[in-house]
Amino acid sequence: MAQSEDKAAPYGMLLAANAAARGEALFVAFESEGEFSYAEIHRRASAVAKGLAALGVGKGDRVAIQMPNCADFVFALFATQMLGAISVLVNARFKTHELAHVFRHSGAKVFFTTTLIDDHVNFADLLWQTLPELAEAPSGKPLSLSGAPELRHVILCGEGARTPAISMGQLIEAGTGIDDGVFAGADARTNADDIALMLYTSGTTAAPKGCQLTHRGMLASWAGYADAAGVRAGETIWAPLPFFHVGGVGPMTAALSKGAAFFTAIHFDPATALAQIRRYRPDHLYPAFFNIALALLRHADFKRDDIASARTMLCVAPTKTQYVIRELMPEHIAVMQVFGMTEASGIVTLTRPERPLEHRLETQGTPLPGAEVRIVDPESGTVLGPEALGEIQFRGPGAFHSYYKDEEATKRTILDGGWVATGDHGKIDAQGATHFVGRIKDMLKVGGENVAAAEVEAFLSTHPAVKMSQVVGKADERYGEVPVAFVELLEGKQADEQELIDFFEGKLSRFKIPRQVIFVTEWPMSATKIQKFKLREQLKSLG
């Protein structure tokens, strides 16, 4: 099925079109900041964009954003898009070690952060800790920092000031002399196949990779979801995931593609979510992950009528968990699920509401329009037939553009013919539905976040007492799985479990921190490699 012109339009043009056509219709609502119409978002984003233009930001420049879900994030995101620049969405859970990598790698010219404190994270303090040179940098001049060689300006949103950062008010004031013609010029130079977003995603390498996504790819995935779910103009979507996640910016994109609205919160809290759901009576629920869905559905104050307005709910979960979720919900709500990843701009396959219940709960559905899926023997590369297990590969308009500054990883992942190797194990059944079985890659999925074992191992190796470490996943009722570290200490050195866990605090995101440390003196080996499957077996035997 061919993509429509609207679906292939860049973000900035879509926002402008909705502002013109829908004006004061609701676009986004936050639990603490209120409601914003399409016209208001367009007006505020335009003012921010003019400020960025005054700082020299233009097509192809990179503007990084590290904030929790808030209105300023939305203004910064769309301001960047209106100039044809690239929005680098930085994980709000990143700590100093990871954030320093972003500054070295991303090429960001401008960095947006906030004085908001969320989940005990002071984002401004985090930035100054990551880039201590900021303390000596003069105000009123472009930055020149060894730790962030391409960074020129920091925009500090929220209350308060901090030299040498520019406040949002100062940024907007700087743009008052910029004419609206800057947007017409950017529109003329921007097309749907340009890179719109860069999200950091963990792979099997030590450092997160910058996954570059196009306007066309994001709109193919998320207008595709909206079409399948039956999202219509004026309807509302509840979407609690953070905007730095493809499952957070994606539902926003879905709403934008249809002239619909979405609502979210600074972070997910089931009580807050319930209050919002009761207020906005959403037509569609997008908890994305089963731990979020169950936290909502099992909340002490939850009643089935709270979500009775919804027609669909999209939630990825193992089959048994899907049936548990189904029992907790009103029968008329169609549960959907997907197979997807950041490298697919979010979604490859999904289950449609009109399909039988078993199909929707036991498979990951069929490809979006324009997408294809195949199963390949990971050793020989042979394409396999129905019901055969192998690596899931896909191609289509949602496929990512590239990994930034990593041509080798891009070539390993985007194969001949445009097929994307997912590293995931699965099959296609006789009816054409995709079944996800597990991960081939040595990666964990902790509460919906990808965690590269190699990244955790690499950081743990910097502890002065650690000789070798291996990280594996342990099943967890709340998060799906959590990291556990097997550690061999250097001869003559000492460290206990709590010391090693504390070593991560403030350096890596909390979801990456091992929940348990098991000390070993020897490793199960093949001829050349540690056999991680035996470590997983050992972990299971320990209970």
Which of the residue ranges 202-206, 214-218, 318-322, 438-442 would you say has the lowest mean pLDDT? Answer: 202-206
Would you state the pLDDT for residue 203?
Answer: 56
Residue-wise burial string across 457-475, b where 16 or more C-beta atoms lie within 10 A, e elsewhere: bbbbeebeebeebbbbbbe
Q: Where are the domains of the chain?
A: 11-201, 443-542
Please compute the mean of the pLDDT values over residues 439-446 and round it to a whole number: 79
Please tell me which residue, 123 or 116, carries the higher pLDDT value: 123
Q: Tell me the β-bridge partners of 261.
A: 236
Please compute the mean of the pLDDT values over residues 331-357 and round it to a whole number: 97
How far is it, in rounded angstroms, from Cα 24 to Cα 22? 6
Would you state the pLDDT for residue 472?
Answer: 94
Q: Which CATH number fits domain 11-201: 3.60.40.10, 3.40.50.980, 3.40.50.150, 3.40.470.10?
A: 3.40.50.980
Question: CA distances (Å), 114 to each of 70, 96, 121, 181, 186, in order?
Answer: 10, 16, 11, 29, 27
Would you state the pLDDT for residue 186?
Answer: 87
Backbone angles phi, psi at 422, to 5 degrees: -90, -20
**Are 513 and 483 contacting, i.e. CB atoms less than 8 angstroms apart?**
yes
| CATH superfamily of the 443-542 domain | ANL, C-terminal domain (3.30.300.30)
Q: Tell me the β-bridge partners of 111.
A: 64, 154
What does pLDDT average to over the chain? 93
Q: How much of the chain exceeds pLDDT 90, in percent? A: 81
Would you state the pLDDT for residue 206?
Answer: 60
Backbone angles phi, psi at 456, to 5 degrees: -65, -40
pLDDT value at 526 more than 80: no
**Are 488 and 500 contacting, i.e. CB atoms less than 8 angstroms apart?**
no
Would you state the pLDDT for residue 207?
Answer: 80
Q: Using DSSP, state whether 400 is helix, strand or coil.
A: coil
Would you state the pLDDT for residue 531?
Answer: 80
Q: For residue range 452-506, what is the model confidence (pLDDT) as tens digits?
A: 787 888 889 889 899 889 999 999 989 999 999 999 998 899 999 999 999 999 9
Q: Using the Cα atoms of residue 225, residue 227, residue 233 and residue 235 in order, give the sign of their dihedral.
A: negative
**HSE value, Cβ hemisphere, 13 Å, CA-based, for 172:** 14
Q: Which helix (H) or strand (E) holds 154?
A: strand 153-157
Find tokens 């998060």 and name the residue.
Answer: 479
Would you state the pLDDT for residue 1?
Answer: 32
DSSP E strand boundaries for 334-432: 334-336, 338-339, 349-350, 366-367, 372-376, 390-395, 402-403, 420-428
Q: Using the Cα atoms of residue 402, residue 404, residue 407 and residue 410 in order, give the sign of their dihedral.
A: negative
How far is it, in rounded angstroms, from Cα 134 to Cα 321? 48
Q: For residue range 140-181, what is the model confidence (pLDDT) as tens digits?
A: 999 999 999 999 999 999 998 899 999 999 999 999 999 999
- Predicted TM-score (pTM) of the model is 0.86
Q: What is the DSSP string of 160-218?
A: S--TTPEEHHHHHHHTTT--THHHHHHHHH--TTSEEEEEEE--SSSS-EEEEEEHHHH
Q: pLDDT band for position 265 (50/70/90)?
A: very high
Q: Tell me the β-bridge partners of 438.
A: 425
Would you state the pLDDT for residue 529?
Answer: 67
Q: For residue range 371-381, what is the model confidence (pLDDT) as tens digits?
A: 999 999 988 99
In this chain, the answer to whether the domains covering 11-201 and 443-542 adopt an identical fold is: no
How far is it, in rounded angstroms, from Cα 238 to Cα 59? 32
Which tokens in the block code for residue 180?
Answer: 């609206």
Would you state the pLDDT for residue 5?
Answer: 41
Please tell me which residue, 23 or 1, carries the higher pLDDT value: 23
Would you state the pLDDT for residue 441?
Answer: 67
Q: pLDDT band for position 3 (50/70/90)?
A: very low
Backbone angles phi, psi at 87, to 5 degrees: -90, 120
Which tokens in the block code for residue 214?
Answer: 């196009």
How far is it, in rounded angstroms, from Cα 337 to Cα 359? 10
Q: Which helix (H) or strand (E) holds 451?
A: strand 449-452
pLDDT value at 18 more than 80: yes
Q: pLDDT band for position 108 (50/70/90)?
A: very high
Find tokens 């995709």 and name the residue.
Answer: 434
